[in-house]
Amino acid sequence: AQRVTQPEKLLSVFKGAPVELKCNYSYSGSPELFWYVQYSRQRLQLLLRHISRESIKGFTADLNKGETSFHLKKPFAQEEDSAMYYCALSGHSGNTPLVFGKGTRLSVIA
Amino acid sequence: DAGITQSPRHKVTETGTPVTLRCHQTENHRYMYWYRQDPGHGLRLIHYSYGVKDTDKGEVSDGYSVSRSKTEDFLLTLESATSSQTSVYFCATYRDRGLLEQYFGPGTRLTVT
């Protein structure tokens, strides 16, 4: 069964500190992994997808198949990073519905 | 935002009444999805569609039905609303060409009293 686990409901960091949002997944095949972000009362937006291997807003995420993880990292947190972050998984065929983790709320303290 | 709109954006209704939420997209995307968002649960899939009149159930489909008579519209109906269906409902579409990703609508906040 497909499952995404985000162990932290809330993560508070000080501005300028490093951030790591954890995501672990369970999937029998080769998944596509995503990070979505939701700013206060806004729609979800795609932040990263693992196949792109890009950095968006200073965030990066590396797929570790051995540890079945896709942690989101940023070296220096900014106040505008405060938001809800969801890790999501899709089957090999990208049009299969996303399975979401329960989300982690990131609060960056000035 | 891939031209996705949802209506209504907010609704308060009473237990036992039927409610229909509408998702409209202008990009001619084939795939459309309905999710509900609840604290502590994240987003959970209710129903999805892979074409006109082609739909399938998701993780939490009980108490919900959907219809898709046109490519651009995907309707979610709560046949007899219950307080447990108080939630924020998000529609999403999948761009299956070019940059492959799901796009989300702005959400509908539904309160069942």
To the nearest whole Å, the CA of B63 is away from the closest chain A CA by 20
User: How confident is the model at residue B96, as a pLDDT?
Assistant: 67
Q: Could you give the CA distance from residue A91 to residue A89 in angstroms, rounded to a whole number? A: 7
To the nearest whole Å, the CA of A81 is away from the closest chain B CA by 19
User: How confident is the model at residue B102, as a pLDDT?
Assistant: 84
**DSSP letters spanning A32-90:** EEEEEEE-TT---EEEEEGGG---BTTBEE--BTTTTB--EEESS--GGG-EEEEEEEE
For residue A50, count other CB atoms closer than 10 A to its CB: 15
**Do B33 and B94 touch, CB atoms closer than 8 A?**
yes
Contacts of A2 in chain B (CB under 8 A): none
pLDDT in tens, chain A (110 residues): 789 999 999 999 999 999 999 999 998 877 889 999 999 988 999 998 887 777 888 999 988 989 999 999 999 999 999 999 999 998 766 567 889 999 999 999 99
* Amino acid symbol at B101: E
Q: In what order do the strands lie in the sheet with B4-7?
A: B4-7, B19-25, B73-78, B64-70
3-state secondary structure of B7: strand
Q: How many Cα neighbours within 13 Å face the side chain of A30?
A: 5
pLDDT in tens, chain B (113 residues): 668 999 999 999 999 999 999 999 998 888 999 999 998 899 999 999 999 999 999 999 999 999 999 999 999 999 999 999 999 999 999 876 655 678 899 999 999 99
To the nearest whole Å, the CA of B94 is away from the closest chain A CA by 6
Contacts of A102 in chain B (CB under 8 A): 40-42
Identify the DSSP state of A95.
T
User: How confident is the model at residue A70, as a pLDDT?
Assistant: 95
User: How confident is the model at residue A30, as a pLDDT?
Assistant: 79
User: How confident is the model at residue A98, as a pLDDT?
Assistant: 86
CB atoms B107 and A43 under 8 Å = yes
β A72-74/A60-61 pair status: antiparallel
3-state secondary structure of A6: coil
User: How confident is the model at residue B104, as a pLDDT?
Assistant: 93
* A85 closest CA partner among A93, A97, A77: A77
